[in-house]
Amino acid sequence: MPTVSSDPTVRRCELVFEAHGFHGASMDALVRAAGVSSRTLYKRHGSKQQLILAVLRIREDRFFASLSDDGVNALFDGLALWVKREGGRGCMFLRALGEFGDREGPIMERVAAYHARLRGEIAARIAHQREKMPPARADGGAASHDGSHDVDPALVELILILFEGAAAVGAYRGPDAARHAGQAASELLAAKSRPFETHDDVS
């Protein structure tokens, strides 16, 4: 039996969910798209919920694998390329939140895990970017005595909001949304990385 990442039926079903939503995609449509019998599809995935989880998992891994190992700008550049290549129907995880957000369960746990991974990715990229800067005390993350930078969770949250917003409006703004959000993120990081100004007392 193929693994989730190598199973072509998962990618085919992903396209159905992308086009029709999770609730709107019928099992008949999924079976037709998968190109296998319903028995085979159920044998591999067990249920529609398990198939949704498989789709979300491979989509998450495919997105993060597509990113270059660089700073925050590369994250938004990667999103712009993703929207251009994959199509601009908005973030599938945000859509899963919209369709299943009123209930607990494995799908919402998968969405939460994705957002935790994204938040960690942003924090790591901010830290990586600041390693290249002089170790001056900064608004958005103070430099410690060894020159390393602590990343302010509030700054991570702001970058996350810019990213999620760009992913959502990419449905009608296309890749430009990610590019503009990336520019805003760069300006925010630059502003937060300026050393505190000190003023001598004048008597």
Query: Do 131 and 188 belong to one domain?
Result: yes
Using the 3D structure, point to which of 25, 54, 83 is the last residue of a domain: 54
Looking at the domain assignment, is residue 203 inside a domain? Answer: no
Walk along the chain (203 residues) in steps of 10 and give the mean pLDDT of each run. Answer: 70 94 95 93 92 96 91 94 85 92 89 96 91 53 45 94 94 93 94 60 48
146 lies in a domain?
A: yes
Return the exposure string of 86-111: e unless at least 16 CB atoms fall within 10 Å of the residue's CB, then b: bebebbbbbbbbebbeeeeeebeebb
Q: Is residue 201 part of a domain?
A: no
Residues 102 and 153 in one domain: yes
For residues 133 and 181, state if they share a domain.
yes
| Burial bucket for residue 74 (CB in 10 Å: 0-12, 13-18, 19+) | middle
- Domain of 74: which CATH number? 1.10.357
Do residues 175 and 114 both lie within one domain?
Answer: yes
Residues 167 and 98 in one domain: yes
Note whether residue 70 is domain-resident: yes
Distance between CA atoms of residues 179 and 175, nearest Å = 7
Q: What is the pTM of this model?
A: 0.81
Q: Does 26 fall in a domain?
A: yes
* 145, 174: one domain: yes
> Using CA atoms, how far apart are residues 152 and 186, in angstroms rounded to an integer?
16
Residue 187 lies in a domain: yes
In this structure, are 48 and 71 located in the same domain?
Answer: no
The number of folded domains in the chain is 2
CATH number at residue 15: 1.10.10.60
Q: Looking at residue 147, what is its pLDDT?
A: 37
Domain extent at residue 90: 66-192
pLDDT in tens, 55-83: 999 999 999 999 988 889 999 999 999 99
* Per-residue pLDDT tens over the stretch 158-177: 999 999 999 999 888 999 99
- Judge if 185 and 85 occupy the same domain: yes
Residue 18 lies in a domain: yes
Domain assignment present for residue 61? The answer is no
